[in-house]
Amino acid sequence: MKKVFADTDISLDLLSNRMPFYNAASHLFTHADQSEIKIYISSLTFANLHYILRSENSLSETRRILNNYRILVNVLAVDEKIIDLALQSLFKDFEDAIQYYTAVQNNIPVLLTRNLKDYKKAEIPVMTAEDFIKTF
């Protein structure tokens, strides 16, 4: 089964119905729901999602959304090594560095994001959800 790491923006596209990106995210997570791929996210993503969704929804609705989402993803820990790598990296965006090193340290072969420009020095393939779906 193919493993992919999803950056926060991909998850937010799905959970907030952000157009025009929702369709690709929906297809991606449908493949996960059908056990065709395994989607991994960092624990940081859950904090990011809760913070953003909470500004758009009630607390109970936010928790309901995240509980349903949790079924589709595998959550990876952000530990000291990942933070150290992110701090020492050349990434301009610290959050992106954390996401990248979470994927790398857990041997996830592909990182999905809409923010390709911040991953120029990545040593694993980085692509949009839409591009990944086309190769699937």
Average pLDDT over residues 13-38: 94
Q: How far apart are CA 122 and CA 11, in angstroms?
A: 20
Average pLDDT over residues 68-78: 96
> What local confidence, expressed as pLDDT, does residue 36 receive?
94
Q: How far apart are CA 57 and CA 85, in angstroms?
A: 34
Tell whether the torsion through CA atoms of 33, 6, 132 and 128 is positive or negative: positive
DSSP 8-state class, residue 42 = E
pLDDT over 90 (residue 136):
no
Write the CB contacts of 3 (distance below 8 Å, at least 6 apart in sequence).
37, 38, 40, 108, 109, 110
Q: What's the CATH number where 6 sits? A: 3.40.50.1010
- List strand residue ranges (DSSP E) for 1-136, in order: 2-6, 37-42, 73-76, 111-112, 126-127
pLDDT per residue over 55-67, tens digit each?
Answer: 999 999 999 999 9
Average pLDDT over residues 42-52: 96
pLDDT band at residue 52 using 50, 70 and 90 as cut-offs: very high
pLDDT per residue over 3-14, tens digit each?
Answer: 999 999 999 999
CA dihedral 99, 105, 108, 114 (to 10 degrees): 20
Tally of domains within the chain: 1
pLDDT per residue over 101-125, tens digit each?
Answer: 999 999 999 999 998 988 888 999 9
pLDDT band at residue 94 using 50, 70 and 90 as cut-offs: very high
Q: Which domain holds residue 51?
A: 2-135
